[in-house]
Amino acid sequence: MSWVYPTIFMMTTSVVWYSYIRYAKSFDIPQVLVAFAMIGLPLPIYALATLYSDSLYTLQPAHLLVMLIQGIVFIYLGNLYAVKGIDAAPNPGFSVLISKVYVVFTTPISVFLFEAPMPLQSVIAIALIVGSSYFVIVDKNNSKKSGTRLSTAPWVSNTLIAFFCYGGNSLSSKYLLNGGMPISMRLFFPGLVATILYLPAALRGIRKIGIKNRKPLFVLFIIALGSVLFNASTQVAFAQAPNIGYVNAANASSTAVLAFTSVYIFRDPLPRRKLMGVIGVVIGTYILFLV
């Protein structure tokens, strides 16, 4: 049961981490600066891990191309739109939840790319997740003609972009890992590409908030620290768990905790309809990862 402790730590870190991303909105911290803190500031740690890795892996041109795509598209755009979604959502838990259930996208595609199995239980779980997500992204319509409407709020479109970027990053990471690439290298090089793209706007963001303004800088530091702790504890839990699906299910469940804590910390809304969607997505994710 040694995997339980890093998993609990991962869940706790996830809630605190995303809460601080939401908290950054209170200081008018530019969204690109938040994304930079998530990816750029942890890079020295990943660089050291790569340098001291005893892996015999040799970089291949195809893998380099994949990492460039990861950095430019999946990480740079994915995290930027994820932050935009969290910032604009009525409750950050809604946005994080939708972006984290990209497994409904990667599971069927993995059947064709990696010849992964897809039993009936997976199909049922995906249907439950998609159906429950409907309640999260659909708003009540005050019009007498229709009871509900698909939300056109910016947070929905931003979150869906992050959803597909995260899914693409997951699939491409699986490809790189199957090719023998060390985890630290996979985290460092695409992260470096994304950081270079973030840097000009991030520097303007720092000038905007002021280098002497300690509170926003402290928030950014916590976001960066949360990124490192979350990723590290997740990898430790993966290594020790009898089934990594247990860890992934716990990760998805932490978004439900985030939705509830945001009600009390930030006074964000949690309507009954969306609460049903949150619970349904968590249940569906458990079913899918425990196949």
pLDDT, tens digit only, all 291 positions of the chain: 577 888 889 889 989 999 999 899 888 899 999 999 999 989 998 899 888 877 778 889 999 999 999 999 999 999 999 999 988 888 888 888 888 777 777 778 878 887 777 788 878 888 888 888 878 877 665 545 555 555 557 888 999 999 999 888 888 888 888 888 888 888 899 999 999 999 999 999 888 887 667 888 999 999 999 998 988 888 777 767 765 556 666 777 787 788 888 888 888 888 888 888 888 888 887 787 676
pLDDT, position 246:
63
- Which positions ≥6 away from 62 have C-beta within 8 Å? none
| Predicted structure pTM score | 0.81
Distance CA 196, CA 20 (A): 24
Nearest to 4 by CA among 233, 225, 183: 233
CA distance 93 to 253: 10
Residue 42: name the closest of 211, 199, 221 by CA: 221
Predicted local confidence at residue 189, as pLDDT: 94
What is the predicted pLDDT for the residue at 188?
92
Residue 104's pLDDT is 76
Residues 6+ apart with CB under 8 A from 142: none
Give, in degrees to the nearest 5, the angle at Cα 81 between 75 and 85: 140
Phi, psi of 9, rounded to the nearest 5 degrees: -65, -40
pLDDT score recorded for residue 174: 83
Please report the pLDDT score of residue 67 as a whole number: 96
Distance, CA of 265 to CA of 164 (rounded, Å): 29
